A and B are shown apart, each in its own frame.
Chain A
Amino acid sequence: MGYEFIEGNEAIARGAIKAKCDFVASYPITPASSILHYLLRLVPEVGGIAIQAEDEIASMGFCIAASMAGRRVLTSTSGPGMSLYSENIGLAIMGETPMVIVDVQRQGPATGSATKGAESDIQFTRWSTSGGLPIIALSPATVGEAYELTYIAFNFAEKYRTPVFILTNKEIGVTKESVSLDSIKLPPLVERKRVPTGQDRYFPHYFESAEEVPAISDFGGEYVARFTTSTHDKTAYLTTKPEIIQEMIDHYAAKIDRAADDIALVKEDLEEGADILVISYGIISRSAAVAVRRARAQGRKVSSLVLQTLWPVPEKVIESAMCGVKKVIIPEMNMGQYLVEVERLAPPEVEVVGVCKMNTTLVSPEEIIERGGLL
């Protein structure tokens, strides 16, 4: 088995190509720029277009339209770019556009520390756009997972016709690791459901039950296609009828929320009789792994959940793992952005402790043990 020594950003680019990504538009930003650099070279090799856009708004605009014309699209940025992405994220939700959005998070707010890591955008990603409708977000912990989850993000995007976010971190994006990408097992590639040929006409948002994901006909395909930012019916014509508007809103929410179990990627390491549960995600889950191992070596009974899916919140797995524990510890490189999600799920008798730090440095295993009260 052969190894490579590559950074997380390269793994994301390679995962995208593995997922048959053939359209990329991004604007340079530290620490995400190298994703664009890799893809500018890799995408034309597979017959696709990769372009540096004039800003993050244009990056999103190019990608949304290219996706509706049948391309498998990715765009990448960091926190300040996410602010500009937010304008078009709502459009992608409204038009049910499959797309992968990578956020290599850095220390915010504002320009913050451009070259330093953080998990600044966990809640921003969920609530970035008007309307508050659900999106999907995945968080890799290693360079290998950056590859794997980018590939899976394309599958989710195409399957659910939705923007899917990769919430990575400078600490993975520009850290090199020894990894064997070829040995990573990937699920089969998912293509978007397309409208069969020979129909009378095309309904861009056709569904029978609210959670059903409508089939697409690409712009330039067999049918005349329509796309609109405005409230619309299943034909994508503007509507002002409250009952139809509500039906569409219910549909956008249901297709993600009711698929939460399918989207939930969680690594469970549960110990019988544990009184402490550590819930972690991203780069800090690796500090948590060290902390949990040390605690167990000292005879402490500890369970661990590592969340690869952050949105929608894998509520069932979290609730089930919290059964019987006295304390839940959540270490994060922010001021407790996921803590609030766990707090709302925790039974009243369970103590929820955040180990929060937002000073550009990793939360160390020692900090989890000491500040979390793991030992």
Chain B
Amino acid sequence: MSTVKYKTYMTDAIGPLPFCPGCGHTPLIKALDKALVKLQLDPKEVVIVTDIGCIGLSCRYFITNAFHGLHGRSITYGCGLKLARPELKVIVLKGDGGCGIGGTHLLNVARRNIGITLIVGNNFNYGMTGGQHSVTTPTDGRTTTTPWGNVEGPMDLCATAIAAGAPWVYRATMFDKDLPDVIATAIEQPGFAMLDVWELCAAYYVALNELDKKELFSLLDGLSFERGLLADKPRPEYSERYWAAYKAGKSTVKKKPPIEPKYANTVTKQTGIFIAGSAGQKIRSTATLFAEGAMFAGLNATQKDDYPITVQTGHSVSEIILSPETIEYTGINSPDLFVLISEDGLKRVRSQVEKLPETCILYAEEKLQLPETNARVRRFPFSRIGRDVGRLSVAATALGTMLADTRMFPVEAFAEAIRRSQSPAIAEINVKALSAGAELAAKGG
């Protein structure tokens, strides 16, 4: 015969259980103790997490780890503990009130299948705050906040958990003789397990509704809420799936070599550049490659982007600052260079274009109808050339033209940045577009 190391997991160090005479929490907590004795778990490997409400008083009476958090959030603490240390047995004790305020956590733990055990001490009202109605209060039930009877309908916690994907769900009552065994079975489940235990609240719900053991069972029957084991469909627990997906995943973190400056540049002051085009024209990514090209030529760079929340439509505008010095203020009050590729881009920056100073050079797609501006306008057939080389390369063409025209740094530095980031096939197309753009500059706009 094996020796029983733990005869109880409870301590009377702070006195007897504090619940009212007749309260369902007392038999529930005693049944949990018996379940733990049955399982003989190491108290250091068990965490009892409690919600707010009368049931939140109970973790103090156990010799296991205890975590008592905020109202409705006990499931989130239980999940955090389980995710951090999957070897822990995490038992969450919660009332029907906590299931209401923390409803989303119930749905999501069931859906995710994080392997905690949730025990709901369900007594149809808020005991701790004075007997107000909860999400499980039966219709017509009297509480301090439903003085003429509850006009709302009760939530079936078990059906809700099952609908959300809970693999193991059981409905019991405080009077069930086998409650310790049922709790032990719930704790042993590798995945999420929920046990809804119907109870009497002696102080409030019983007093206002003349509920007793017999009435509790007829209440269950009247609602057609089933009892016993309602779901038993095991599936892999969250952590198991997390690591399996990670190990099988092809998407690992790509490390690009750092940029070592190796080209010269002719930039003598902080230079602000705008590039405005349309979604799908690779404005932002090409602007990044352009800035990285400048970094290959020893320049500092910053980049900000502006685009609609619906990313595949409308404008796409990038702001680049290049400087031989540290870049402090990252705003561009007065752009030095402006590249305009499409109608969407122009629409977004029209008021800025109207205000451009005469020191600014504006490189514009030749088909665009430009507003009046003091900038020095140069027109080029960017979209035609870009289309000849590759549909997605118009930005590389336009920036190639601007770069070759300004000679801020060698076109080859831009090409090197492209090759550093893109696959050889894509890089080849973009370098070709870049060269075509540079040739446009040589011909003059």
Contacts and interface: CB of A to CB of B under 8 A. Distances in A.
Interface of A: 1-5, 23, 25, 30, 41-42, 44-45, 49, 51, 53-55, 57-58, 60-66, 68-71, 87-88, 91, 114-115, 171, 174-178, 180, 182, 219-230, 236-238, 283, 286-287, 289-290, 361-362, 364-366
Given A223-B44, A225-B65, A71 B258 contact: no
A171 B304 CA distance: 8
Contacts of B79: 58, 61-62, 65
Contact of A44 (B84, B246, B256): B246
A54 B102 CA distance: 11
B372 interface: no
A335 B44 CA distance: 51
Interface centre among B52, B242, B327, B330 (most CB of A within 10 A): B330
A219 B85 contact: yes
Given A182-B258, A362-B329, 8 more contacts: A2-B259, A4-B259, A49-B84, A64-B80, A175-B304, A227-B67, A227-B68, A287-B328
Contact of B329 (A1, A3, A227, A365): A365
Contacts of B78: 65
B65 A224 contact: yes
A220 B88 contact: yes
Contacts, number: 194
Interface in B5-59: 14, 43-45, 47, 52
Contacts of A65: 67, 69, 76-81, 84
Contact of B301 (A171, A177, A230): A177
Interface residues of B, number: 63
A71 B84 contact: yes
A286 B299 CA distance: 18
5 contacts: A3-B295, A54-B105, A88-B73, A219-B88, A224-B63
Given A61-B79, A224-B43, A224-B63, A178 B295 contact: yes
B276 to A, nearest CB: 17
B288 interface: yes
B333 A3 contact: no
B248 interface: no
B310 interface: no
A178 B291 contact: yes
B296 to A, nearest CB: 9
B70 interface: yes
Contacts of A1: 260
Contacts of A44: 242-243, 246
A257 B87 CA distance: 38
Nearest to A177: B302
B1 interface: no
A322 B44 CA distance: 54
A175 B303 contact: yes
A49 B327 contact: no
Contact of A3 (B47, B63, B258, B305): B258
Contacts of B105: 54, 58, 61
A2 B84 contact: no
B291 A364 contact: no
Which of A53, A69, A230, A236 has most chain B Cβ within 10 Å? A69
B59 to A, nearest CB: 8
B44 A224 contact: yes
Interface string B78-105: 1111011101100000000000000011
Nearest to B319: A175
**Interface pairs A-B: 9 shortest CB-CB:** A2-B258, A61-B76, A65-B80, A69-B84, A66-B84, A62-B80, A286-B328, A65-B77, A176-B303
A232 B328 CA distance: 49
A91 B84 contact: no
B330 A237 contact: no
Interface in B239-269: 239, 242-243, 246, 251-253, 256-261
B330 A175 contact: yes
A31 B65 CA distance: 38
A176 B302 contact: yes
